[in-house]
Amino acid sequence: MDRHLIGKLILSAAFLAVLLMTACQQAPPLPPPPVKATIGDIRGVPTAYEGKVVTIEGKYQGWKGGFGSPPVTRSDWLVEDATGWLYVTGKPAGLDPLDDVGCPIKVTGVIRITKDGEPYLYAQEIEIKAKKASALLLLQIDLREKQLATPTPERLEQMKAMGMRTENLSMQRIFIHLAQELTAWQIDELEAMGITPYPDSWIPVAGGHAAGFIVADMPIDKLDELAGKDYVMRLDTAEQVLEPQTEQLP
Q: How far apart are the first and last CA of the chain?
A: 116
Architecture of domain 35-128: Beta Barrel (2.40)
Q: Which of 63-67, 131-135, 229-233 is predicted least confidently?
A: 63-67
Q: What is the pLDDT of residues 124-171, one digit of tens each?
A: 998 887 678 888 898 899 899 989 999 999 999 999 999 999 999 999
Q: What is the pLDDT of residues 4-39, one digit of tens each?
A: 555 555 556 655 665 566 655 555 666 678 888 999
Q: Where are the domains of the chain?
A: 35-128, 135-237
- Cα distances from 47 to residues 41, 99, 112, in angstroms, run 11, 34, 9
pTM over 0.85: no
Sign of CA dihedral 40, 41, 44, 49: negative
| Dist CA 122 CA 37 (whole Å) | 15
Architecture of domain 135-237: 2-Layer Sandwich (3.30)
